[in-house]
Amino acid sequence: MNAAEWISAIAGVISAIGIVFLWIQTNHLRREIEQDHERSRREKAVDLILTWTERLERQTSSARKLVEILPDTAIVDLVAERPIRVQKDRLGLLLSCLGDTAKRAAIDDKSGMILLDEQAVSTIRWQAMTYLNTLEAVLTSWHHNVADRDMIAEQFGYLVDQTKGYNALERFRATCGGPLVFPGITMFAEELKKRQNKVLEGKPSLGKG
């Protein structure tokens, strides 16, 4: 092999090494970008969980529990802000939602029901909407993969539990206008129904592999 051939061969080896080195660097950079995105999604999920915890109030949580057990006809009247009747054994929830307003509610002795006027109904409706709007903000990030989906599903899965009758106010949402009103909640509820009773494993550490 003459000098020219040696030079050509060496140049080929150097070129091949350069290509391999570039591939390694590119692959490393790609993993770093992916890990950075994954870290950001996890951090976003934690931030959303903290925000939800800070904003969730007793009144709105009680309103959610009350609305979920109302009959369909009462939910229609609730959305329309018309007077509704609630069973007397729900007085505890009403007191939590309305405070002194619930104490002034009329009780129909014949039917054993508590009659709520427009003002009381409007307050409960507002609390339910506040609850759903706050939840929609969280689940929009889940729906569009801005926050880690598994972490959100793990922490918010209790909101869709058929064994306890929890459905993220499904009937109320449907009466308000259906899936288009709260699309994030709707998609999350459908996904959670598929995952019911499935225990999610913890997330793997970042920076490996």
What DSSP letter does each residue of 36-104 carry, written as one string? HHHHHHHHHHHHHHHHHHHH--HHHHHHHHHHHHS-HHHHHHHHTT--EEEEGGGHHHHHHHHTHHHHT
pLDDT at 17: 61
pLDDT in tens, 102-143: 767 777 767 778 889 898 999 999 999 999 999 999 999 998
Lowest mean pLDDT among 43-52, 101-110, 130-139, 157-166: 101-110
Q: What is the pLDDT of residue 82?
A: 95
Task: Kindly report the pTM of this predicted structure.
Answer: 0.76
At 27, is the pLDDT very low, low, confident or very high (cuts 50, 70, 90)? Answer: low
